[in-house]
Amino acid sequence: MIGAESLVRTLLASGVDTCFANPGTSELYFISALDRVPGMRCVLGLFEGVVTGAADGYARMTGRPAATLLHCGPGLANGLSSLHNARRANSPIVNVVGDTASFHRPLDPALTADTEGFARPVSAWVRTASSAVNLGEDGAVAVQAARTSPGRIATLIVPADISWGEGGHVATPLPVPAAPQAAPGTVKQVAAILRRGEPAVIFLGGKALLAEGLPVASRIAAACGVRLLAQQSNARIQRGQGRVPLECVPYAMALAQRALAGTRHVILAGIHCPVALFAYPNQRGSVCPNDAEVHVLARPEQDAVQALKALAEELHAPAAPAVSLSAPPEPARGPLVREAVGQTLAALIPEEAIVIDEGVSFGAGFYGQTQASAPHDWLQHTGASLGMGLPMAIGAALGAPGRRVIVVQADGSAMYTVQALWTQARERLDVTTLVLANRKYAILAGELANLGGQPGPVSGRLMDLGNPELNWVKIANGMGVEAAQAQDCDELASLLTHSLGRRGPFLIELLI
């Protein structure tokens, strides 16, 4: 058996059955092996940022790694931005990167690059395979590394001669290490602090934001009068009717600091201490008051849900109070203003939808407006590197079949990875994209105003996407995705309802 085939078989044996790919010559052995070995779902992305972003979406919805297949250093480099977002989401991913044959490398052929060097900043584990005989084992270790809590990126670089070399064998899958537990002493210390009754906030992150952890946190909140919060942007929150509503720290620093004013104790459950996205001259970076004490209940790699359960027991917290949310609103009528678009979305989010939020400035309030929508998952921008929405939708749709994906998508951000629409069409994925077409980089103008400036002739042109105007219906149609324009909320509601009732992708351009 050649090395590439042993790697494919080992990945499958280790539970990796989805591969997002943009192959080249050094990966031909791997993709040929996929013709012989059944069981791997392979999805072509037409840019590596789409491939790696799709793997992020898949990991967030399944908790398991997909493989990516990337071509040499340059292919990996194209995928780095989405890998950056995935790393900040603690998404498990196994990158398989083909490379120049090891004996050819000293000749310095065109694709020679520091592939390991490209991989390292986004990867918790990097290895360049050195023998076909061991390639199966390399694959098993890569999967184990990716599945190590809280979810990591593992990059296995495979020179072409290792792929084609004979003597490969299928490796035994390696165990997934359990997430470390918070020490009992830590739980007792945090309980003692909460018993003091001083103003406190518990920041929830990672799995504590999912349906199992939130009711436990809610028990603690009700028992001690402590507030629950999430950081501004999170990998995945389970929310909506019947679920514990959770506020996120506002983006604007003044609002964030106001939200936390008076807090004496900040308890961290599965998250690092939240900070502002940007620094401003003469302003603090932390959203927490200077005099607040920070207590780590569980670090991101620890089992935060277990730590919350232990804390609830230690506090003898009674069962969680029933969640009572008002009914979702009716769709709005009239012009496409922020509040009305958010209300229409809130009314129409279908049960078990997955909302991917790259709404940037226009969509900033939608999270707050959709607390009482039908139960759904909300996926946010963890790394602030633009272009996550359209690719993540691919992975989320494949990772959670039968659930509708709704992408709230700012237009400037969409252009970074627009090729994702083609993959959505090719795979007939149930994705509805709402393009918020303001034809500007509006948030940059807002940030400039925060600094006391305003766009001038040069800077203004660098924030303007209106000349020429992007035509989203034509862009989508050109990639095989049906699309229509909404000029007001009535049209938005009718197009959204139409898209939710049909199979396959649909794009709605909102002229805002």
Ligand X SMILES: Cc1ncc(C[n+]2csc(CCOP(=O)(O)OP(=O)(O)O)c2C)c(N)n1
Least separation in angstroms between CB 19 and ligand X: 25
Least separation in angstroms between CB 383 and ligand X: 9
Under the binding rule (CB under 6 A), the answer on residue 252 touching ligand X is no
Strand stretches in 388-488, DSSP E: 405-410, 431-437, 482-486
Residues 497 and 474: their CA atoms lie apart, in Å, by 21
Q: How many residues bind ligand X (CB under 6 A)?
A: 17
Nearest of 232, 236, 233, 238 to residue 218 by alpha carbon: 238
Under the binding rule (CB under 6 A), the answer on residue 138 touching ligand X is no
- How far is C-alpha 199 from the chain's CA centre? 32
Least separation in angstroms between CB 39 and ligand X: 35
Under the binding rule (CB under 6 A), the answer on residue 385 touching ligand X is yes
Nearer CB in complex with ligand X: 304/445: 445
By CB under 6 A, the residues from 58 to 97 that bind ligand X are 81
Least separation in angstroms between CB 48 and ligand X: 14
Residues 447 and 280: their CA atoms lie apart, in Å, by 10
* Beta carbons of 466 and 499 less than 8 angstroms apart: no
Q: Which residue has the tokens 């849900």?
A: 305
Least separation in angstroms between CB 89 and ligand X: 15
* Beta carbons of 248 and 233 less than 8 angstroms apart: yes
Nearer CB in complex with ligand X: 146/408: 408
Residues 426 and 178: their CA atoms lie apart, in Å, by 37
Least separation in angstroms between CB 443 and ligand X: 3
DSSP structure string for 319-368: PPPPP--PPPPPPP-SB--HHHHHHHHHHHPPTTEEEEEE-TTTTTTHHH
Nearest of 121, 118, 13 to residue 67 by alpha carbon: 13
Q: Please select the residue that binds ligand X; options are 28, 133, 443, 470, rule is CB under 6 A.
A: 443
Cα separations (Å) of 20 from 31, 38, 49? 11, 16, 11
Under the binding rule (CB under 6 A), the answer on residue 472 touching ligand X is no
Please choose, out of 61-69, 70-78, 120-128, 437-445, the segment that lies near ligand X by the rule CB under 6 A: 437-445
Nearer CB in complex with ligand X: 261/384: 384
Residues 321 and 323: their CA atoms lie apart, in Å, by 6
Residues 114 and 333: their CA atoms lie apart, in Å, by 55
Nearer CB in complex with ligand X: 40/386: 386
Nearer CB in complex with ligand X: 472/506: 472
Q: Please select the residue that binds ligand X; options are 89, 228, 246, 410, rule is CB under 6 A.
A: 410
* Beta carbons of 96 and 126 less than 8 angstroms apart: no
Least separation in angstroms between CB 188 and ligand X: 42
Residues 20 and 42: their CA atoms lie apart, in Å, by 6
Least separation in angstroms between CB 366 and ligand X: 12
Under the binding rule (CB under 6 A), the answer on residue 509 touching ligand X is no
Nearer CB in complex with ligand X: 197/466: 466
By CB under 6 A, the residues from 321 to 360 that bind ligand X are 360
Q: Please select the residue that binds ligand X; options are 47, 125, 367, 441, rule is CB under 6 A.
A: 441
- Ranked by CB distance to ligand X, the top (closest) residue is 412
Instruction: Name the residue type at position 25.
Output: T
Please choose, out of 128-136, 217-225, 330-338, 380-388, the segment that lies near ligand X by the rule CB under 6 A: 380-388
Q: Please select the residue that binds ligand X; options are 235, 412, 427, 505, rule is CB under 6 A.
A: 412
* Phi/psi of residue 383, nearest 5 degrees: -115, -5
Nearer CB in complex with ligand X: 39/368: 368
Q: Footprint of ligand X on this chain (CB under 6 A)? A: 81, 360-362, 384-386, 410-413, 438, 440-444
